[in-house]
Amino acid sequence: MLLHYLIAWVMAVFTAEVLAAPYLRKRGQGAVAKAVALVFACLFLVAYLLDYDALASAIHFAPIAGIRFTTTGTSFVLVWLTTAAAIFTALYPFFRKKCPAADVLLIFTSAVFLLDGILLADYIGAQTGEVLGPATLRTVLFALSIGMGLGNSVFFLCLRAKTFPKKKSTYLWLFLALCGMLIAAFPNYTLQMLFDPARYNLPAKNLNLYHRLCIYPIVVVPLVLYFLLRNKSDETRRFVLLYYALCGLWNYMSTQKFPQIYGLANVAHLPLHLCNTACYITPLCLTFKWKKIFYFTYFINVFGAFIALMMPSYSTEGLHGTLMMSEIWHFYRAHYQAFYMPLLTVGLGIFARPRLKQFLWSMVGFTGYYLLVLVLNGWFSNYDAGVDFFFINSDFVADKLGAWAEGLRNFVWEFDLGGLHFRYNPVYQVLYYLTYCLLALGMWFLYELAYRSVSGWLDLSARRKKIALDKLAREVAGQGGPMDNDNGSATLVLEHLSKRYARSDVYAVSDVCLEVRGGEIFGFLGPNGAGKSTIIKSIVGIQPITDGRILVCGHDVEHESVQSKYNIGFVPDHYALYEKLTGREYVNYIADLYGVKKADRDERMEFYVNAFELTQAIDEPISTYSHGMKQKIAIMAALIHDPKVWILDEPLTGLDPNSIYQVKQCMVRHAEKGNIVFFSSHLIDVVERICDRIAIIRKGQIQCVCDVKEIEKTTTLEEYYMSVIRQGEVQPVAFSPKKGGSACTP
């Protein structure tokens, strides 16, 4: 045993020196750290898989009622802690720069590997049972891996100790993270060691109380993880999910050791059941970001795991079905991961919510998997009668459905090939496949409903919180009613605005800089899909922005949304009015929302009713109005609080000439009062007659910002617009808060 101690401690010193070398040379630190982590992971994994776990086998056949301070109890604790520390150590170099708060957990891993180094005999004995015997390949590999883990953890602990976070709240979160790490890594035989299964015989099947207690975690665990991680960075989320996935795989492999799966006599133990494959697929997809393979497990494995949890395949004879037995926890933990890990991965945004295309590709993958297990079931049954991958070789599922399903298995197809006998139930197995595809499609709709419900609730909660903060900010600033805004000049500023929608890799709007001054009528031109509506919706706060910021009268749209919206009047391209109200009732309702005083609203109402010739219709239900009249009501509602920035998205579409004239006159009057009129339009002749300046946008980028009068000195606005759009090259626009953009450059 002295040799094992020597190997472990020498390896610890050697590992620290290897990691320190690139820091002395000041290059290659990350590559060396990742290489060391990979070697450590390989050594630890091979040592783990070479043979059975001695402690697990001993507890399985001779359970201990309670942990005592004995060699067995110490070994159990060491195995548990070392599993958690080893998986963290293997991942840490790949995420340490992206998740700096995780540095504090190096204290835990260093303490664990130091304890292993001191109590090496207990740890190796728990894993191999050969601690007092001569050195073997497996015992040497464990000694080497413990040494590497110790050297790695202590080196990075010394390196990063000075950068540990100072906030006490961070340490509280890290303590919770450590508790989560230990819960994820506990051995399957934990309850069997703590409690005597013969005394606590708690059979879990047929949806009895104990079976339901095993099912509840598939709801509780993902919700807890979701709410803990939803505000963290993408890499932190991936780090945590990958850790949990690897813990699940590690515990699953406790019954997938080389002696258990090697040879034709053991083919039934190969990890080819649908939920077994998820234990391998999920960590691989999270590690290498394999999107196409991930959606296979998202659509296929999740539903299969749910069915397996409802109809578990373990036996209840004797003590095999009691909650204390390690086999039960091996079953449930594998299916927990197969069920909620893909859902969490999509819910937390690691992979995008799938579309129909991804579903169809997952069905192609499922078809390939189904054909494979059909062939393997028929082939391997010649060597092991217990082979039943995906439960299509036996009546396990048919028995749950009734006599009619059992009857489908009476259609048998048998043949001999190459000295092997093959037996299939074609009718039953084809219907089994088609039913599973339809149920998977149904599950997709349930996923979408759940995601939309949660997203809507979170969005509503975030909006309410933001409104409350805005209100508090106004009260602290000593502002009174909602319309007591600052009396500064009207301004609209876009600073390096970019917008990318969640499912797209292309920016809808990219690095837009623009300033519009008070007293201007500003035209916003561009072809369909250029990004006009995206920018307008971002200005008015309908959708969030990806980068940059927007200032309305000095208020940041993102951080001071209420103040900025009080200064905006918006007429969308597709308005939605409460058509059961009269025109007057609707405009008064909007005025109430903005807190407009009665005297002010009555004066403005009378003015706009006369200007828009709505005297006879203003007290009629909006449902009786024509398109043009509804457009005028939308404009009145946008102007009733006298906004400093009036934004219109295609306001003249579908209007008759008289209505167009009235709207144009309204724009001019509003700008003459020192306000901003910002509108998009495809009617270039209208823009040319009333606008002071224009911006032309193409493919999400501003091509130019120009003074209309300057353009008219050389050409018409229409010809100029067409030359810019056809040119297809982005004209650089220098952002200048004082000058409002670049000079006019075609």
The string of pLDDT tens digits covering residues 69-127 is: 456 788 889 999 999 999 999 999 999 888 877 888 999 999 999 999 999 988 988 88
| Half-sphere exposure at residue 284, Cβ-oriented, CA atoms within 13 angstroms | 12
Residue 746 has pLDDT above 70, yes or no: no
The closest alpha carbon to 145, from 191, 204, 85, 96, belongs to 85
What pLDDT was estimated at residue 488? 60
Contacts of 324-327 with C-beta under 8 Å, sequence gap 24+, read: 324/63, 324/191, 324/192, 324/195, 324/196, 324/197, 324/200, 324/201, 324/202, 325/192, 325/197, 326/56, 326/59, 326/60, 326/187, 326/188, 326/189, 326/192, 327/188
Flag whether pLDDT at 262 surpasses 80: no
**Tokens representing 706?**
């120009």
Rounded CA separation 606/610 (Å): 6
User: Could you read off the pLDDT of 510-545 as tens digits, one per residue?
Assistant: 888 999 988 999 999 888 888 888 899 899 888 888
β-partners of residue 549 are 495
pTM across the whole model: 0.69
Whether 191 shows a pLDDT value over 70: the answer reads yes
Distances (CA, A) of 59 to 65, 68, 76, 322, 521: 10, 14, 10, 15, 81
The answer to whether residue 413 sits within a structural domain is no
**Overall average pLDDT of the 258-276 stretch:** 79
pLDDT band per the 50, 70, 90 thresholds, residue 432: very high
Q: What is the mean pLDDT of residues 241-266?
A: 85
- Tell me, yes or no, whether 298 lies in a domain: no
Mean pLDDT of the chain: 84
What is the predicted pLDDT for the residue at 742? 38
Per the structure block, which two tokens stand in for 193?
């060691």
Better-predicted residue by pLDDT, 120 or 746: 120
Contact predicate 429/410, CB 8 Å: no
Q: Select the more confidently predicted residue: 470 or 15.
A: 15
pLDDT for res 472 = 66
Q: Is pLDDT of 44 > 50? A: yes
More confident residue, 495 or 463: 495
Mean pLDDT value across residues 544-565: 85
Strand partners, 732: none
pLDDT over 90 percentage in the chain: 31
Would you say 214 and 221 are in contact if contact means Cβ atoms under 8 Å apart? no
Residue-level pLDDT at 275: 82
Last residue of a domain, one of 113, 142, 164: 164
Burial of 584 (0-12, 13-18, 19+ CB in 10 A): middle
pLDDT at 473: 60
The confidence score (pLDDT) of residue 485 equals 46
For residue 104 the two structure tokens come to: 């504090």
Report yes or no on 503 lying in a domain: yes
Comparing 523-532, 555-564, 631-640, the range with the smallest average pLDDT is 555-564
Write out the DSSP string of 222-265: HHHHHHHHTTS-HHHHHHHHHHHHHHHHHHHGGG--HHHHSSGG
What Cα–Cα distance (Å) separates residue 359 from each residue in 300, 437, 445?
10, 10, 11
pLDDT digits (tens, 9 = 90+) for 399-431: 878 888 889 999 999 999 988 999 999 999 999
- Residue-level length of the chain: 746
Most confident listed range (26-35, 242-251, 296-305): 242-251
pLDDT value at 607 more than 60: yes
pLDDT band, very low/low/confident/very high, at 572 (cuts 50, 70, 90): confident
Burial class (CB in 10 A: 0-12, 13-18, 19+), 585: middle
Q: What is the CATH number of the domain that holds 701?
A: 3.40.50.300
pLDDT at 36 over 90: yes
Structural domains of the chain, count:
2
List, in order, residues 6 or more apart from 292 with CB less than 8 Å away. Answer: 358, 361, 365
* pLDDT score for 463: 67
**Whether 518 contacts 552, CB under 8 Å:** no
Q: Which ranges of 643-739 would DSSP assign to H, the alpha helix?
A: 657-672, 684-690, 708-712, 717-727
- Residue-number span of the structural domain to which 63 is assigned: 1-164
The pLDDT confidence band at residue 474, using thresholds 50, 70 and 90, is: low
Residue 745 lies in a domain: yes
Q: By C-alpha distance, which of 229, 280, 215, 217 is closest to 251?
A: 280
Confidence at residue 326, expressed as pLDDT on a 0 to 100 scale: 86
In whole angstroms, give the CA distance from residue 290 to residue 130: 40
Asked whether residue 558 is domain-assigned, the answer is yes
3-state helix/strand/coil string of 121-175: HHHHHHHHCCCCCCCCHHHHHHHHHHHHHHHHHHHHHHHHHHHCCCCHHHHHHHH
For 36, how many CA atoms within 13 A lie in the half-sphere containing its CB?
31
> Which two three-digit tokens encode residue 595?
């807190």
The single-letter code of the amino acid at 708 is V
**Rounded Cα gap, residues 601 and 605, in angstroms:** 6
Q: What is the pLDDT of residue 506?
A: 76
The band of 482, judged by pLDDT with boundaries at 50, 70 and 90, is very low
Single residue among 132, 164, 196 that ends a domain in this structure: 164
pLDDT at 161 over 70: yes
Instruction: Flag whether pLDDT at 735 surpasses 70.
Output: no
Among residues 129, 164, 199, which one ends one of the domains? 164
* Domain assignment present for 214: no
The most confident of 75-84, 400-409, 466-475, 653-662, by mean pLDDT? 75-84
pLDDT of residue 732: 42
pLDDT of residue 740: 39
List, for residues 312-369, the tens digit of each pLDDT value: 888 767 667 788 888 888 899 989 988 889 888 988 888 888 878 888 888 898 999 9
Give a yes or no: residue 646 inside a domain.
no
Is the pLDDT at 186 greater than 50? The verdict is yes
**609 vs 58 pLDDT, higher one:** 609
Q: How many CB atoms lie within 10 A of CB 99?
A: 20
Distance CA 144, CA 142 (A): 5
Q: Is residue 622 part of a domain?
A: no
pLDDT score of 737 more than 50: no
Q: Give the 3-state secondary structure percentages of the chain, helix then strand then coil, rounded to 5.
A: 60, 10, 30
**Is the pLDDT score of 730 beyond 50?**
no
Model confidence band, residue 505 (pLDDT cutoffs 50, 70, 90): low
Mean pLDDT computed over 222-229: 88
279-292 pLDDT, tens digit per residue, is 899 999 999 988 88
Q: Distance (Å, rounded) from C-alpha 618 to C-alpha 217?
A: 59
User: Which residue do the tokens 């630890």 mark?
Assistant: 44
Cα separation, 161 vs 106, in Å, equals 9
pLDDT recorded at residue 69: 41
